[in-house]
Amino acid sequence: MVSVIKVEGVGRDFTVRKKVGRLRRNAFVVTAVTDLSFVVQRGEMVGYIGPNGAGKSTTIKMLTGILVPSTGELTVAGLTPSVERTELARKIGVVFGQRTTLWWDLPLRDSFELLRRIYRVPDPRFRTNMRTFSDLLDLGPLLDTPVRQLSLGQRMRGDIAAALLHDPEVVYLDEPTIGLDVVSKSNLRDFLRETNRERGTTVLLTTHDLDDIEQICSRVMVIDHGRLVYDGGLTGLHQLGGARRTLVVDLVEPAAALELPGAETVRVEGPRQWLSFPADASAAPLIADIAERHEVADLSIREPDIEAVIKQLYTNTSAWSSPPPFVE
Amino acid sequence: MASSLSAVGWNIRAYLLLARMWIRVSMTYRASFVTLTVGQFFITGLDYVGIAIMFSNVDTLAGFSFSEVAFLYGGSALCLGLADLVLGNIERLGTRIRMGTFDVMLVRPVSVFVQMCADEFALRRLGRITQAAGVFAWSITALDIDWTASRVAMLPYLVATGTVIFLAIFTLGAAVQFWTAESSELANAFTYGGSTLAHFPLTIYPREGIKALTFVIPLGFVNWYPSLFILDKPDPLGLPPAIQFAGPIAAALLSVLAAIVWRRGTRRYQSTGS
Ligand SMILES: Nc1ncnc2c1ncn2[C@@H]1O[C@H](COP(=O)(O)OP(=O)(O)O)[C@@H](O)[C@H]1O
Ligand SMILES: [Mg+2]
Predicted pLDDT of residue A18: 78
The answer to which of A17-26, A69-78, B57-66, B106-115 has the lowest mean pLDDT is A17-26
Predicted pLDDT of residue A327: 46
How much is the average pLDDT of A110-136?
93
How high is the mean pLDDT of chain B?
92
Spell out a b/e string for B241-252, using b for 16 or more CB atoms within 10 Å of the CB, else e.
eebbebbeebbe
Atom number in ligand 1 closest to CA A15: 4
Bigger pLDDT: B191 vs B3: B191
Query: What are the residues whose beta carbons fall under 8 Å from the beta carbon of B191, sequence distance 6 or more?
Result: B80, B83, B84, B91, B166, B169, B170, B173
Residue B230 has pLDDT above 90, yes or no: yes
CB atoms within 10 A of CB B109: 18
Whole-number Å distance, alpha carbon A324 to ligand 1 midpoint, is: 20
CA distance A67 to chain B (A): 6
Predicted pLDDT of residue A325: 43
Distance CA A10, CA A26 (A): 26
User: Is any atom of ligand 1 closer than 6 Å to the C-beta of A98?
Assistant: no
Give which of A120, A146, A247, A299 is closest to B29, Cα–Cα.
A146
Ligand 2 ion: nearby residues, β-carbon < 5 Å: A 56-57
Q: What is the pLDDT of residues B49-68, one digit of tens each?
A: 999 999 999 999 999 999 99
Q: What is the pLDDT of residues A186-213, one digit of tens each?
A: 888 999 999 999 999 999 999 888 888 8
Predicted pLDDT of residue B48: 92
Q: Chain B neighbours among A 46-85 (CB < 8 Å)?
A: 57-58, 61, 64-68, 82, 85
How much is the average pLDDT of A106-135?
93
Q: What is the pLDDT of residues A263-276, one digit of tens each?
A: 889 899 999 999 98
Query: What are the residues whose beta carbons fall under 8 Å from the beta carbon of A263, sequence distance 6 or more?
Result: A247, A275, A276, A277, A286
Residue A258 has pLDDT above 60, yes or no: yes
Distance CA A185, CA A188 (A): 5
Distance CA A142, CA A72 (A): 43
Predicted pLDDT of residue A177: 87
User: Is any atom of ligand 1 closer than 6 Å to the C-beta of B268?
Assistant: no
- For β-strands A202-206 and A170-174, DSSP reports them as parallel
Beta bridge partners, A40, equal: A5
Predicted pLDDT of residue A316: 64
**pLDDT tier, B17 (very low <50, low <70, confident <90, very high otherwise):** very high
Distance CA A167, CA A92 (A): 8
Q: What is the pLDDT of residues A29-43, one digit of tens each?
A: 999 999 999 999 999
Distance CA B84, CA B79 (A): 8
Bigger pLDDT: A94 vs A240: A94
Distance CA B247, CA B213 (A): 12
The residues on B that touch A, with CB distances below 8 Å, are 14, 17-18, 21, 24-25, 100-101, 103-104, 106-111, 267, 269-271, 273-274
CB contact under 8 A, A118 and B109: yes
Spell out a b/e string for A147-175, using b for 16 or more CB atoms within 10 Å of the CB, else e.
beebeebbbbbbbbbbbbbbbbbbbbbbb
Q: State pTM to two decimals.
A: 0.86
How much is the average pLDDT of B206-224?
94
Residue A307 has pLDDT above 60, yes or no: yes
The answer to which of A75-79, B90-94, B188-192, B213-217 has the lowest mean pLDDT is B188-192
Q: What is the pLDDT of residues A81-101, one digit of tens each?
A: 999 999 999 999 999 988 899
Q: Compute CA A249 distance to the chain's CA centroid, rounded to the nearest angstrom.
A: 34
Residues of B whose CB is below 8 A from A97: none
Interface predicted TM-score of the whole assembly (ipTM), two decimals: 0.85
Predicted pLDDT of residue A306: 67
Which of A17, A30, A67 is the best mutation target for the ligand 1 pocket, counting ligand atoms within 8 Å of the beta carbon and taking the most?
Answer: A30
Q: Where are the domains of chain B?
A: 2-268
Query: What are the residues whose beta carbons fall under 8 Å from the beta carbon of B14, sequence distance 6 or more?
Result: A118, B110, B111, B114, B115, B118
